[in-house]
A and B are shown apart, each in its own frame.
Chain A
C-alpha cells in the first residue's frame, strides 16, 4: 500500500477531531491546552502534506509560523493556568462560571 495524500488528510482530520472533542469534554485546563495544541499540529500535517503534494514551500513556511504561534499561545495558557490555580485552587474549567446569564 502506498501512502497517498489522502492518508495524511485523514490522519490530520482524526487528530483535529480528537483535539476538537478534547476541548469540548476535558475538564482540566491543561488537557484543554494540549487539545488545542493537537488541533494546531493537525493543521501542520495538512500544510506539509499539501506542500509536498503541490511542490510548494509556502505550506511548510506556514507550519513554522503556526508552531511559533502555538508556542506563544502555550505561554499565555500556562500563565493563565497559574492565575487560575491561585484563585480557585483547581484547574477545572467548568468551575470558572461566575459570569453567566
Chain B
C-alpha cells in the first residue's frame, strides 16, 4: 500500500479530469442548444438562474431552477455523476492515505522513517558543477517527481483528505442548486490534488507546484460567483497579495538551491543538520524569504488582507481552503523547514513576532465585525498567527498540533455558518440574526461545541493545542531579547481572551435572544439537509476529541509530540531554543490556569454583555471611544490604504492605470505610513489625514510620472526609435570603454 502513495493525489486529479470533461461536454451541448434557439436565446437565458441578489446561495429563493434546463436535458444524472465523482475520488484518496500511513506503520513513522515514492525524474540537471555551494552533495543534480511520507506529511494528508472529504459531502447539499455545479466540483478536486501535491512533495519544487496550484484554485473558487463584483475583486486581491509572498518563496528556493545544490528534503535538511556552522550565516536570509512566502499564503501581517475578502467565495470553499487546509500551507512549510529555521534564531524571532502580532491584531478586528463569515475570517488570521508564534518560539510540534485541531473546529464553524446562511436565505449580518438555537438545533449545537473548542475551554481540542503554544511562548528564550517570550505570551494570552469573547459574541448574536430579521424570513428558517449536518456532527465530535492526541503533563499523553518528534526534532546544540521546554509541572499548571482564566473572562464578558445585556455595554464603550471603535471596525483602515493609492492611481492615470500595479509596488511603503498614521489617530481620533493623503498622492503621482515615461518613450515616430537605437549603440560602446 505504501508504494501506492501516489494514488492519494491521483484520485482527486482523476476526479478533476472526469468532472471537468463532463462539465465541458454538458456545457458545450447546452451552449449549442441555446445557440440553435436563435431568437429564443433570450428567454432561455432568462430561464437560467439569475445572479443572487442578497447572498451567495440563491438555492432556496428559486430552488430547483436547474430543473428548468434550457436545453431540456435531464440534469439529474449529470449532477449525480458530478457528485459521485467529486466526493468518491476524495473519499478514496482519504482511504488510501490512511492505508498508506498504516502500511508504513505509525510506530515506524514516529521513529523518523520516511517513505519516498519516486515516480520519475522530472528535471535532469546533469552533473554538479558546484557553484556557490558550501557542502553540497557532489554528483548528479536532478529533481524527481517524488512523494514523501513521513510523520509530518502523514499528519497533514490524514486531516486534509478527511476534512476535505467531509466538505465535499457538505458541498453536495450546499451547492446543490447552483449554476456550474460540475465546475465547482472540478475546481474543488483540483484543489485537493494540488494540496496533496504540496504536502506530499518530496522537494521544494514539487512543494512549489502544489503551492501555486492551491493558489490558482483559490482564486478560481473565490471568484466562483463571477457575476458578483465583490467575488471577482476578492479573487484579484488574493492574487495580488500572494504574488508578493510567492516572490519571496521563489527567492528562498533559489537560495536553498545555491546553498545546498539540491532541492530534495532528504538531502537539504540532513546537510544543514550536519554542518550547522557552515550554513547558519546564510540561512537567515533564506528563511526570511521563505517566511515571506508563508506570510502570503497563510495570511500573516501585513499580507493578511486578502483572506477576509476571500470569504466572498462559497462557504464550503472558505471552510476547506481558507480555514482548514490551504492557509495552513505556510505553517506546514515553515515546520517542514524547521531544521533551517532553528539554525537562524533571528528568522525565528521574526516569525514569532509577526505571528504573535498578527494573532492579536486580527483578534481585535474580529471583535467589531458584523458579518458572520468575516468574524470567522479574522479569527482564522488570528489562529494562524498562533501557529506561527508556536513555530517562532521553536515549538513546531505545538504549531502543527494547532493546525490539526484548528482544521477541525474552524471547518466546523465555517460549515455551521454556511448552514446558518443557508437557513436564512443568504443573510450574513449577525445583527439581523438571533434566536436561531431552537430553529436549527443541530447547527447550533455543533457550532457551540466548536466555539467552545476555539475559545480554549478545557478538555476540548483547542484547549490542548493553544495551551501548548502559550506554554512554549512563556518559556521561550530569545538570546537577543530575553523579555520577548513573556511579551509574546502576554499578547497570546490576551488574544485567547479576545478569541473567547468574540466567538461567544458571535454565538449569542446568532443563536440566542430574539430573531431580529423579518417575519417572512423567520417563517422560512429550516434546518439543513442531512448531507450538510452529518459533516457538522463529525467535525464537532473531532473538535471535542481531536485534542486528546496531545495531552501535556500526563506521561505518554503527548502522543502527537512523539509522533512528530523525529521530523520536528530540536537539533542537538542548535542554540537557545532547546533548553526551555522542560518546564516545571507547577509552572505548567499555573500557565494553564491563566489561559483558562483568560478564556473564562472572555466568555463571561461576552455572555454578560451580549446574551444578557443585549449589547448595551459595548455600545456605550464604542460611544465613549469613537476613534478606537472606528479604527477597529474599519479594520484599521488597511484596506482603505490600498484603495486610496490604487483608486487614485486608477483615476489619475486616465483609466489606463491598473489596480494591480499600484498595489504591488506601493503597498509596502504606503501601508507602512498608513499604519503609523492610524496608530497616531488612536491617540487623537482626528489626527489629520493630510499627511497620509499627501504621501499617497505623492507616491501615486511619482508612479504615474514614471509610467508616462514608458509610454512617452514609445512616440510612434520611427526616427525617434532610430535615435534611441543609435543612443543605445553609443551606450554599448561607452560601457565597453568604461568597464573593460
Q: Are any A and B Cβ atoms less than 8 Å apart in their complex?
A: yes
Task: Please state if A94 and B726 are interface contacts (CB–CB under 8 Å).
Answer: no
| Chain B residues within an 8 Å CB radius of A99 | 716
Task: Please state if B723 and A93 are interface contacts (CB–CB under 8 Å).
Answer: no
Task: Please state if B711 and A101 are interface contacts (CB–CB under 8 Å).
Answer: yes
Say whether, besides A20-B726, A24-B726, A101 and B716 are in contact (CB < 8 Å).
yes
Say whether, besides A20-B726, A24-B723, A24-B726, A98 and B716 are in contact (CB < 8 Å).
yes
Task: Please state if B719 and A100 are interface contacts (CB–CB under 8 Å).
Answer: no
Task: Please state if B718 and A25 are interface contacts (CB–CB under 8 Å).
Answer: no
Contact of B717 among A20, A23, A25, A94 (CB under 8 A): A94
Contact of B719 among A25, A98, A101 (CB under 8 A): A25
Task: Please state if A97 and B716 are interface contacts (CB–CB under 8 Å).
Answer: yes
Which residues from 673 to 729 on chain B have a C-beta closer than 8 Å to any C-beta of chain A?
711, 714-719, 722-723, 726
Task: Please state if A24 and B714 are interface contacts (CB–CB under 8 Å).
Answer: no
Which residues from 77 to 100 on chain A have a C-beta closer than 8 Å to any C-beta of chain B?
93-94, 96-100
Q: With A and B bound together, what is the CA distance between A100 and B711 in angstroms?
A: 8
| Chain A residues within an 8 Å CB radius of B714 | 100-101
Task: Please state if B719 and A94 are interface contacts (CB–CB under 8 Å).
Answer: yes
Q: How far apart are B332's CB and chain A's nearest CB, in angstroms?
A: 46
Q: With A and B bound together, what is the CA distance between A101 and B717 in angstroms?
A: 11
Q: With A and B bound together, what is the CA distance between A100 and B708 in angstroms?
A: 12
Number of residues in B with C-beta < 8 Å to the partner? Answer: 10
Most chain B CB atoms below 10 A, which of A93, A96, A100: A100
Q: How far apart are B732's CB and chain A's nearest CB, in angstroms?
A: 15
Q: How far apart are A16's CB and chain B's nearest CB, in angstroms?
A: 12
Most chain B CB atoms below 10 A, which of A24, A27, A96, A99: A24
Q: How far apart are B178's CB and chain A's nearest CB, in angstroms?
A: 42
Task: Please state if A93 and B726 are interface contacts (CB–CB under 8 Å).
Answer: no
| Chain B residues within an 8 Å CB radius of A24 | 719, 722-723, 726
Q: With A and B bound together, what is the CA distance between A33 and B61 in angstroms?
A: 72
Task: Please state if B716 and A23 are interface contacts (CB–CB under 8 Å).
Answer: no
Task: Please state if B715 and A97 are interface contacts (CB–CB under 8 Å).
Answer: yes
Say whether, besides A20-B726, A24-B723, A100 and B718 are in contact (CB < 8 Å).
no
Q: With A and B bound together, what is the CA distance between A33 and B238 in angstroms?
A: 53
Chain A residue with Cβ nearest B656: A101
Q: With A and B bound together, what is the CA distance between A101 and B712 in angstroms?
A: 6
| Chain B residues within an 8 Å CB radius of A96 | 718
Q: With A and B bound together, what is the CA distance between A101 and B656 in angstroms?
A: 11
| Chain B residues within an 8 Å CB radius of A98 | 716
| Chain A residues within an 8 Å CB radius of B717 | 93-94, 97, 100
Chain A residue with Cβ nearest B718: A93
Q: With A and B bound together, what is the CA distance between A100 and B710 in angstroms?
A: 11
Q: With A and B bound together, what is the CA distance between A20 and B726 in angstroms?
A: 9
Q: With A and B bound together, what is the CA distance between A52 and B716 in angstroms?
A: 43
Q: How far apart are B572's CB and chain A's nearest CB, in angstroms?
A: 62
| Chain A residues within an 8 Å CB radius of B711 | 100-101
Chain B residue with Cβ nearest A98: B716
| Chain B residues within an 8 Å CB radius of A27 | 719
| Chain A residues within an 8 Å CB radius of B726 | 20, 24
Q: With A and B bound together, what is the CA distance between A93 and B716 in angstroms?
A: 10
Which residues from 1 to 58 on chain A have a C-beta closer than 8 Å to any C-beta of chain B?
20, 23-25, 27
Q: With A and B bound together, what is the CA distance between A6 and B154 in angstroms?
A: 78
| Chain A residues within an 8 Å CB radius of B718 | 93, 96-97
Chain B residue with Cβ nearest A101: B711
Task: Please state if B723 and A100 are interface contacts (CB–CB under 8 Å).
Answer: no
Q: With A and B bound together, what is the CA distance between A97 and B715 in angstroms?
A: 8
Q: With A and B bound together, what is the CA distance between A20 and B722 in angstroms?
A: 9
Q: How far apart are A7's CB and chain B's nearest CB, in angstroms?
A: 23
Convert B476-494 into 0s and 1s, putting 1 for each residue whose CB lies closer than 8 angstroms to a CB of A: 0000000000000000000
| Chain A residues within an 8 Å CB radius of B722 | 23-24
| Chain A residues within an 8 Å CB radius of B719 | 23-25, 27, 93-94
Q: With A and B bound together, what is the CA distance between A101 and B723 in angstroms?
A: 17
Chain B residue with Cβ nearest A29: B718
| Chain A residues within an 8 Å CB radius of B715 | 97, 100
Q: How far apart are A15's CB and chain B's nearest CB, in angstroms?
A: 16
Chain B residue with Cβ nearest A26: B719
Chain B residue with Cβ nearest A93: B718
| Chain A residues within an 8 Å CB radius of B723 | 24
| Chain B residues within an 8 Å CB radius of A93 | 717-719
Q: How far apart are B717's CB and chain A's nearest CB, in angstroms?
A: 5
Q: How far apart are A87's CB and chain B's nearest CB, in angstroms?
A: 15
Q: With A and B bound together, what is the CA distance between A24 and B719 in angstroms?
A: 5
Q: How far apart are A62's CB and chain B's nearest CB, in angstroms?
A: 22
10 interchain residue pairs of minimum CB distance: A100-B716, A97-B716, A101-B711, A97-B717, A100-B714, A101-B714, A24-B723, A93-B718, A24-B722, A23-B722
Interface residues of A (CB under 8 A from B): 20, 23-25, 27, 93-94, 96-101
Interface residues of B (CB under 8 A from A): 711, 714-719, 722-723, 726
Q: List 11 A-B contacts (CB under 8 A).
A: A20-B726, A23-B722, A25-B719, A94-B717, A94-B719, A96-B718, A97-B715, A98-B716, A100-B715, A100-B716, A101-B711
Known: A93-B718, A94-B717, A97-B715. 9 other contacts (CB 8 A): A23-B722, A24-B719, A97-B717, A97-B718, A100-B714, A100-B715, A100-B716, A100-B717, A101-B711
